[in-house]
């Protein structure tokens, strides 16, 4: 009480001072004093706020019992808005208004001619827009493909098992919660049959009545109601609605094939239904097993298009610049990583490893490790995983090759660049809330820089594919047009539609509109406006204004500041002040809500130019007709390369050869693909542009797209370009990896060469000692990359194995030293050679021997061939065999290898210990002759077949038992291969016979469960 009286006296003393008036106080100070005045109106101690502690502000003490009571009280009330969760409304006014203006709905697909034709009237545009939005608001159906690199027998077996699941219609029961109706996604897909017609509960079809939906709703309500006398009431806590649906057969994807065999399929249900529905559990379990084994890859349909367009052949070198999460990389490995030849029994020396290889790169280190996990299913030594910013991927060419026909490192390059991702809305509904056009403009220079680097890394005569999962022309056609413009004939656009059977893709745009959003329409500005103008804040603002008016009436009006006489200023100073005031007013422009910003968005009645412009302008868009109209402060965002080409350039570029995939065409997501062929080396202008963009993204350099300064002679321009080139060398690691001299790009005149000979020789001598090789930067672009703490992975590079480790290994396993490639085995440079990795000779010769590890961070490569042995039973053995790369060691082994028949081989595929007496007598004799340690079991007839990999890494123990050192996933793969070879275990055979005697046909899933 004493403290309360003292504080009250202090407050009264502060407020009663006559010198303090509202005019002499700032708003913040006045607000603080008025708050103190209101707090001390009551002399009661109970009304005083708590000071300090966790319960500041007078809150009640936290109690678990009280929380439980409040939770139970809330549970008695009816839930709203989908059970309390935030419902994503599948609509965005800016998204729909922007794409309506730029002409996304101006073309439609003609079923008769199988071509895209312009919409003739507003009705056709409305229909096209409705079809687009219906597809975008529905959940994406699941799709997958079978590995094309599998041997023919295993591939045929996987396809046969697949047809038993998805080759015919299936009737399933689906639990449909009430809150899913608000999402509109799962319900829309599941309510449609194979022909798009609505289905009733209990699976019955009503094709003749127009009120099918009404009857369906009545049937649902009747199932969920309870009768009390003559009245029917629907309980509040009713369970989910049970719907019976007929699932259509899987739809084949024709352009995903190997020869005449189709390997790609698209289901009629989405991933969530496939995962949660009990009726589809056998199919889901089969897909999980086959995916883990590497026989099947679950991948979106449009995501399969870029590797097919790239047309990589066996034995080629391929670079995936932005590879994570790795589905496209796996597809590329299947194309280039196959076995061209197999060793024959005659002893002829043939290649036992893939000739081609794939370099998978990603800027984010964590995503790169996720990429390793995905690629491990492929079990290929022809994969090299790196982590660096794609703009700085090292160039491994010799200096003499630059600017010649020998330029480039890779036969094929895939640049699936970072993008806004509005084509993935069907599987990422959160984009509806956060979509904005400024993101596309910000990504444009990054995408262009990565594409230019990919073109530089491509060999002359090779191909580079540029792709995004966006529908915005700022990220698609504008980047391709600038590539063709800067390259000046080095790159040519090609059309891959002829070899893409079944692909429905729209032509690329030759012209588009350039718009940008104002700063007052950014996500932060809109969020701040909503926060400041909600009902609670408006009530506080009104109360504060009333208190301020009361204070003004008590102390008198505020003193007005004296005006400054503008006439005393000069004309220039006055004009400068006016310009400054206009700039301040423009920067302080506040967010103003639009009448067209409704949820859901209401499309325009007419599609004329004025109506569409009115909507985009109201929503904060501003359109530019040319680059000259762009304000100076916006030229860093809206660049000259964003604008469409001229008529002459459009005829030359032929942008209609690009592929535009929209959701309504094939029931997929949105995607963009462009195929570019490199017909000659890149010119110096393209290389300078590449280096400038890369440097700018890391916090330096000037903005591209500005008009070059006129009135300079060639020597001044050359000095500037040399200066820029030297600066870009510091960013791009080294001279040989990123920055290139002008003399390497284009031949110069003799007079210029003579003038530059002396300084070049002098600088070369000075820089030879100072030149250091730097690794390419990692992480996403931006200014914050400097503050990121990154782990030094330089000690994790691959180095050749110590020669001293080989004599005991060669002696123990009887390796043939004349054929065994010891130079292809590497260890990590961490000091302890725990694992010996096997790398294919082309990865070693074309990447590691050329010094790629000095310029980029290597994450992983190769397969585990030998592992350090720590068991007490192996006193004489330092390393044991590893299952991951065993197929490349067995052909060279002469000791500790046993051949087994089908029954013994299947008996080895078990977890835990397996006694000798469970095998045949012949196999037992071979086991008894072995000493304890690691050995190999091969299937009879497949000893030299490296492609099938019918090998098991085993361990012979002292207590007359063996142990299988194979993961559970690979065990499933082995059993799948044995089923493909026609093997049926004894237990399965007994079950089949018992089923036939009972008159029942065994199910496929029962066979799988028994075998596993």
Please check whether residue 317 is in contact with residue 411, taking contact to mean a CB–CB distance below 8 angstroms. yes
Specify whether the backbone of 21 is left (phi greater than 0), alpha (psi in -120 to 50) or beta: beta
How far are the Cα atoms of 8, 420, 518, 530 from residue 524, in angstroms, in the given order? 41, 18, 12, 10
Q: Are 661 and 473 in contact (CB under 8 A)?
A: no
Contact 662, 132 (CB under 8 A): yes
Q: Which residues face 861 on adjacent strands?
A: 384
CA distances for 75 relative to 72, 83, 390, 423, 954, angstroms? 5, 10, 52, 39, 58
How far is it, in rounded angstroms, from Cα 259 to Cα 470?
A: 31
Three-class SS string for 585-636?
A: HHHCCCCCCCCCCCCCCCCCCCCCHHHHHHHHHHCCEEEECCHHHCCHHHCC
3-class SS letters over 319-331: EECCCCCCHHHHH
Residue 351 burial by Cβ neighbours in a 10 Å radius (0-12, 13-18, 19+): middle
Q: Which residue has the tokens 């280039």?
A: 336
Q: How far apart are CA 621 and CA 93, in angstroms?
A: 12
Tokens of 656: 């209609």
CA distance 445 to 439: 11
Catalytic residue among 469, 642, 906, 908: 469
Question: ∠ CA 35-41-43 to the nearest 5 degrees?
Answer: 130
- CA atoms of 288 and 283, how far apart (whole Å): 9
In terms of Cβ atoms closer than 10 Å to its own Cβ (0-12, 13-18, 19+), residue 235 is exposed
C-alpha distance from residue 488 to each of 460, 485, 640 (Å): 15, 5, 17
Cis ω before 325 (30° cut-off from 0): yes
| Contact yes or no for 767/726 (Cβ under 8 A) | no
Question: Is 324:371 a contact under the CB 8 Å cutoff?
Answer: yes
Q: Taking phi first (over 0 means left), then psi (-120 to 50 degrees means alpha), and beta for anything else, what does residue 44 get?
A: beta
For strand 825-828 and strand 879-881, is the pairing parallel, antiparallel, or unpaired? unpaired
3-state SS assignment for residue 838: strand
Could you give the residue ranges of the DSSP H alpha helices within 122-211? 122-136, 152-166, 180-183, 186-190
The question of whether 469 is a catalytic residue gets the answer: yes
Backbone angles phi, psi at 180, to 5 degrees: -70, -20
Place of tokens 């100070």: 29
Q: In the beta sheet, which residues pair with residue 118?
A: 107
- How is residue 830 written in tokens? 């961490």
Taking alpha carbons only, the member of 248, 262, 272 closest to residue 142 is: 272
Catalytic residues: 469
């Amino acid at each position: 009480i004493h403290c309360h009286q003292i504080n009250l006296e202090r407050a009264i003393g502060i407020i009663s001072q006559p010198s303090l008036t509202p005019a002499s106080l700032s708003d913040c100070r006045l607000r603080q004093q008025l708050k103190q005045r209101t707090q001390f109106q009551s002399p009661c101690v109970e009304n005083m706020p708590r000071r300090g502690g966790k319960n500041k502000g007078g809150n009640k003490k936290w109690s678990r019992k009280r929380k439980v009571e409040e939770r139970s009280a809330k549970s008695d009330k009816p839930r709203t808005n989908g059970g309390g969760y935030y419902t994503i409304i599948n609509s965005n006014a800016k998204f729909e208004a922007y794409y309506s203006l730029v002409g996304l709905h101006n073309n439609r697909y003609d079923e008769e001619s199988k071509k895209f034709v312009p919409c003739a009237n507003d009705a056709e545009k409305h229909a096209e827009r409705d079809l687009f939005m219906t597809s975008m608001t529905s959940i994406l159906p699941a799709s997958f493909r079978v590995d094309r690199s599998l041997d023919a027998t295993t591939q045929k077996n996987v396809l046969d098992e697949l047809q038993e699941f998805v080759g015919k219609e299936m009737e399933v029961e689906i639990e449909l919660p009430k809150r899913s109706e608000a999402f509109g996604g799962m319900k829309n897909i599941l309510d449609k049959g194979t022909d798009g017609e609505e289905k009733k509960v209990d699976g019955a079809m009503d094709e003749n009545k127009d009120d099918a939906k009404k009857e369906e709703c009545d049937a649902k309500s009747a199932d969920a109601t309870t009768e009390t006398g003559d009245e029917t009431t629907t309980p509040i806590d009713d369970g989910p609605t049970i719907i019976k649906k007929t699932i259509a057969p899987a739809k084949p994807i024709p352009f995903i094939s190997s020869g005449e065999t189709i390997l790609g399929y698209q289901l009629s249900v989405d991933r969530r239904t496939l995962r949660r529905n009990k009726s589809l559990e056998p199919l889901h379990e089969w897909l999980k097993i086959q995916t883990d084994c590497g026989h099947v890859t679950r991948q979106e349909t449009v995501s399969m298009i870029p590797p097919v367009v790239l047309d990589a052949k066996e034995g080629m070198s391929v670079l995936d610049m932005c590879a994570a999460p790795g589905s496209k990389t796996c597809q590329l490995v299947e194309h280039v990583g196959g076995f061209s030849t197999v060793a024959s029994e005659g002893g002829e020396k043939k290649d036992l490893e893939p000739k081609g290889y794939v370099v998978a790169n990603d800027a984010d280190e964590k995503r790169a490790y996720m990429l390793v996990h995905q690629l491990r299913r492929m079990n290929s030594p022809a994969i090299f995983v790196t982590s660096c910013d794609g703009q700085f991927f090292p160039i491994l060419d010799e200096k003499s090759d630059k600017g010649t026909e020998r330029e480039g490192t890779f036969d094929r390059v895939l640049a699936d660049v970072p993008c806004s991702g509005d084509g993935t809305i069907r599987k990422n509904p959160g984009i509806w809330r956060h979509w904005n056009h400024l993101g596309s403009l910000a990504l444009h220079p990054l995408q262009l820089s990565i594409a230019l680097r990919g073109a530089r890394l491509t060999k002359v005569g090779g191909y580079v594919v540029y792709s995004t999962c966006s529908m915005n022309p700022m990220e698609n056609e504008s980047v391709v047009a600038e590539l063709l413009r800067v390259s000046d004939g080095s790159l040519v656009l090609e059309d891959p539609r002829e070899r893409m059977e079944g692909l429905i893709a729209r032509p690329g745009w030759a012209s588009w509109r350039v718009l940008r959003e104002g700063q007052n329409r950014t996500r932060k500005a809109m969020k701040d406006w909503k926060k400041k103008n909600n009902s609670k804040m408006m009530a506080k603002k009104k109360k504060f204004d009333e208190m301020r008016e009361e204070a003004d009436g008590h102390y008198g009006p505020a003193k007005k500041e004296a005006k400054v006489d503008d006439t005393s200023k000069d004309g220039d100073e006055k004009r400068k002040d006016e310009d400054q005031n206009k700039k301040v007013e423009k920067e302080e422009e506040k967010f103003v809500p639009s009448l067209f910003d409704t949820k859901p968005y209401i499309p325009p009645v007419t599609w004329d130019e004025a109506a569409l412009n009115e909507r985009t302008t109201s929503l904060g868009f501003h359109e530019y007709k040319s680059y000259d109209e762009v304000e100076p402060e916006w030229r860093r965002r809206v660049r000259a390369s964003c604008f469409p080409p001229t008529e002459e350039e459009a005829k030359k570029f032929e942008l209609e050869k690009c592929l535009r995939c929209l959701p309504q065409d094939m029931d997929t997501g949105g995607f963009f693909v462009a195929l570019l062929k490199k017909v000659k080396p890149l010119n110096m202008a393209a290389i300078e542009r590449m280096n400038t963009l890369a440097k700018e993204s890391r916090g330096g350099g000037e903005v591209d797209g500005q008009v070059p300064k006129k009135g300079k002679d060639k020597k001044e321009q050359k000095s500037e370009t040399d200066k820029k080139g030297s600066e870009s060398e510091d960013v791009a690691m080294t001279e040989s990896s990123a920055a290139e001299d002008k003399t390497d790009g284009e031949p110069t005149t003799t007079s210029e060469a003579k003038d530059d000979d002396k300084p070049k020789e002098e600088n070369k001598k000075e820089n030879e000692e100072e030149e250091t090789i730097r690794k390419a930067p990692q992480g996403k672009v931006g200014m914050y990359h400097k503050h990121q703490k990154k782990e030094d992975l330089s000690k994790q590079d691959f180095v050749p194995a110590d020669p001293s480790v080989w004599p005991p290994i060669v002696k123990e396993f009887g390796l043939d030293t004349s054929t065994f490639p010891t130079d292809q085995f590497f260890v990590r440079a961490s000091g302890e050679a725990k694992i010996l990795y096997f790398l294919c000779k082309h990865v070693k010769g074309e990447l590691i021997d050329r010094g790629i590890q000095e310029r980029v961070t290597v994450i992983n490569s190769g397969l585990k061939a030998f592992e350090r042995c720590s068991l007490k039973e192996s006193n004489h053995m330092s390393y044991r065999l590893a299952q991951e790369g065993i197929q490349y060691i067995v052909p060279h082994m002469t000791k500790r290898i046993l051949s087994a028949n089908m029954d013994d081989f299947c008996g080895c595929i078990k977890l835990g210990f397996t006694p000798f007496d469970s095998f045949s007598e012949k196999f037992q004799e071979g086991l008894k002759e072995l000493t304890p340690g690691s050995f190999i079991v091969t299937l009879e007839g497949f000893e030299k077949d490296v492609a099938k990999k019918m090998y098991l890494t085993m361990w012979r123990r002292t207590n007359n038992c063996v142990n299988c050192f194979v993961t559970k996933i690979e065990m499933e793969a082995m059993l799948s291969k044995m089923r493909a070879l026609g093997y049926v275990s004894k237990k399965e055979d007994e079950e089949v016979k018992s089923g036939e005697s009972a008159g029942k046909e065994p199910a496929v899933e029962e066979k799988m469960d028994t075998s596993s």
